[in-house]
Structure 1
């Protein structure tokens, strides 16, 4: 039942109740399932089992957020008609292959989206796992969680930090409990996060309350260079947005907080990511303890971590106005290399070496661009169309301008196979075919 004409439904019988899913294009998709509820600035509360059928929503729920002109231009234009703003944004979508046999136990990949802890959601056309699921016979669970003011800014008991991280942990508990009903293996769960999503899952390794919730992690482009010494900056934004905390109009909340964002001049580059995880508050240790804690927990989880060679070209080389527009290519290239090394490359290497020292199984990768006329290079987010291949979703993307889709397809197919191999077993064989754009080594 895999042809495009056959659009039907499938019912999953789960501990939560009957979940109605959509069956089309060779996959079964159980969309926008609520895994928890929350009141503003409160911990997520898991949902109770339902007597009635759990039916997918017409529109995709998203946490209140500002539309980013940069992302609109470089990645995809947002069709606002398809989304519904939801302050309690704890939803997930399960995508599995269309052929269903009872007692199946497929590897599970949990997608944690990026967006600077400020924008995005689990369910976007540009991160649709349909093709990956079909090719590799895996299950992908895409998770949405609270963002920005609602999930990643806090400083006291009334407005605690890290609530978005608690949402993700609650989603993992839901997956552990229910995924077997979808044909997934509850003891073979790989977290896959990109950008701030990669940062979040790297910190789950050192979080309280995650025992036995996952076995492996694939960390793409985590801005680990931004994790240090943020306390003053976070405290300033927390203080300046105090007056918005009880605002009933969420649109007003998110349009006003931008007037109080910390300045890059004062706090350096990390101010370009104003929201982040905060050390010293649950479920995290203090910043000083973090490296030691990663080393201590290294034997528990297999890790695949890496970056794109020209990460910051996404911001530096695509600016339509501002400080970079007037600089020539050699200077821009130097800026891109220096900032990519500082924010992504050096921290990933330090993380990998520290993890290996702790006895952890860890691979380090880098994605390059091999196309002569692609001036942006392998920038931030270039990995997304490789993993989530969906030509229609990416057709207006300026990021892929002058890159033939065939090139994305050829390299992406090999990359998806390698990453699925890691998700199945925690290893990547030396004999598995590598895409030409990939540099990969076991640390």
Structure 2
């Protein structure tokens, strides 16, 4: 390979929090042409046994963008794509995302989809390798983004893996797949879990081809945050997904709202109505909005109404998923994490919660109590239960709580805050309210230990005992223990 330079019941919660909107960000400005010189790196080529791929180099890494791992017609299952090294030549400077409506948390996360191009032809991978790649095969981390199954993309500026790739000499593969009704149709006329099938196709592509990029196909670690972590947990139980990865990191997966969704999904299907394959995106987004509205009143489950449907391929029935976890756990190394103040995030994006927290005298107390209860209900309880189930099936499992936050933070260790430390693209995170008052300035140094811990896990399954500290400008740490 050469580069050429040039468990708490979710329904027993405070009623003021039951319709909390946990959608991650995503309003974009539409397609934008790269500036001159291109902001995403310098043009180069990457020679591999599969052929020579157009790439971009910079910041100590080489990126091959928008490699097609599968193709799919609307509402149809993905079909593996032929490897064509030159296919993404004209897209080496583009960040692609599945079409999606705007998200209420866009501003809190710094408008992460600025400059992203929306395209239904979005079954793509971006592969990032060290510019000075070692001779031996490198561990591979496959990143599955969050966004409540309705927003985001794998290759965003705020998910730039250059720091961990450069420092730890690993490969990061970022996956983009279908979202919302395009990925998780509500009617019975189409496969329900297209987004999960996309992810299976992506992991198969990585397993078959990552060696050509210097990766070790025997050391693939799946890393998912929020709904990305939830998706990976479902993949562990899914038919046809066993063996696609042997290590998995679930960050802030909302496993506490995984069950009891059938009635909510029935109402969503009724509200959305039949989904025509030739409908306009505007019509589909309108149906998606109706479905989301119909989910209201389902307790905390209505915070993430879209997503996998149990009992529809490739998933077993809801009552059989835990047994599938046990059955498929024996060859897994598992790290499950959550943040201390997960749902503090949503006080910043939900006007009702913001008004509640602003009440004189009692507001801050209500904020603390609701954050603690909902964090336990949505994240902590389900994560612990999952960890014990897979440990009972033979997996080597660690759980960890992250309480890191910028010095002087008002929000605390909220949902998604650790992502900025793992992917410390300062320009993308600067000014982001989540990192206020000044957490973006020291991201590279502050997250060095966390990135080293993730890479160590990917390398050997080992994880530091005790705590992983944050660095200058931040307070707190990740406190881990073995299950």
CA distance in 1, matches of 2:97, 2:234: 23
CA distance in 1, matches of 2:410, 2:156: 27
Distance 1:250 1:433, change over 3 A: closer
CA distance in 1, matches of 2:54, 2:320: 45
Q: Counterpart in 2 of 1:359?
A: 394
Deviation at 1:231, TM superposition (A): 1.0
Distance 1:189 1:260, change over 3 A: closer
Deviation at 1:14, TM superposition (A): 4.3
CA distance in 1, matches of 2:112, 2:445: 27
CA distance in 1, matches of 2:137, 2:176: 24
Q: 2:332 aligns with which of 301, 318, 329?
A: 301
Deviation at 1:437, TM superposition (A): 1.5
- Unaligned regions of 5+ residues in structure 1, if any? none
- Unaligned regions of 5+ residues in structure 2, if any? 7-36, 471-475
CA distance in 2, matches of 1:13, 1:409: 31
Deviation at 1:211, TM superposition (A): 3.3
| Kept after mapping to 1: 8 A contact 2:112/2:157 | no
Q: 2:419 aligns with which of 384, 404, 410?
A: 384
Q: Counterpart in 1 of 2:149?
A: 117
CA distance in 2, matches of 1:130, 1:421: 17
Q: Counterpart in 2 of 1:105?
A: 137
- CA deviations on 1:97-142 (whole Å, 9 max, x unpaired) are 00145x5300000000010000000011111101110010000000
Higher relative contact order (CA 8 A, sep 6+): 2
CA distance in 2, matches of 1:364, 1:303: 8
CA distance in 1, matches of 2:307, 2:218: 29
Q: Counterpart in 2 of 1:331?
A: 366
Deviation at 1:433, TM superposition (A): 5.7
| Kept after mapping to 2: 8 A contact 1:66/1:255 | no
| Kept after mapping to 2: 8 A contact 1:119/1:147 | yes
Q: Counterpart in 1 of 2:200?
A: 169
Distance 1:319 1:261, change over 3 A: closer
Distance 1:61 1:290, change over 3 A: same
- CA deviations on 1:404-441 (whole Å, 9 max, x unpaired) are 44554444100000111001011114399644411111
Deviation at 1:237, TM superposition (A): 1.3
Q: 2:347 aligns with which of 306, 316, 322?
A: 316
Once structures 1 and 2 are overlaid, which stretch shifts more, 210-219 or 51-60?
A: 51-60
Provide TM-score, normalisation by structure 1: 0.92
Q: Counterpart in 1 of 2:125?
A: 92
Quick check: 1:46 aligned with 2:83? Answer: no
Q: What is the DSSP-based 3-state SS (H/G/I as helix, E as strand, rest coil) of the residue aligned with 1:74?
A: coil
RMSD: 2.5
CA distance in 1, matches of 2:145, 2:200: 14
Q: Counterpart in 1 of 2:244?
A: 213
CA distance in 1, matches of 2:151, 2:400: 26
CA distance in 2, matches of 1:53, 1:331: 54
Q: Counterpart in 2 of 1:131?
A: 163
Q: What is the DSSP-based 3-state SS (H/G/I as helix, E as strand, rest coil) of the residue aligned with 1:59?
A: coil
CA distance in 1, matches of 2:85, 2:478: 49
- CA deviations on 1:368-424 (whole Å, 9 max, x unpaired) are 046663221100010111100111100121101124445544441000001110010
CA distance in 2, matches of 1:263, 1:8: 48
Provide TM-score, normalisation by structure 2: 0.85
CA distance in 2, matches of 1:131, 1:299: 32
Quick check: 1:196 aligned with 2:227? Answer: yes
CA distance in 2, matches of 1:208, 1:268: 29
Distance 1:370 1:7, change over 3 A: closer
Deviation at 1:51, TM superposition (A): 8.1
| Kept after mapping to 2: 8 A contact 1:14/1:178 | no
Distance 1:374 1:63, change over 3 A: same
| Kept after mapping to 2: 8 A contact 1:91/1:145 | yes
Distance 1:431 1:105, change over 3 A: farther
Deviation at 1:318, TM superposition (A): 4.8
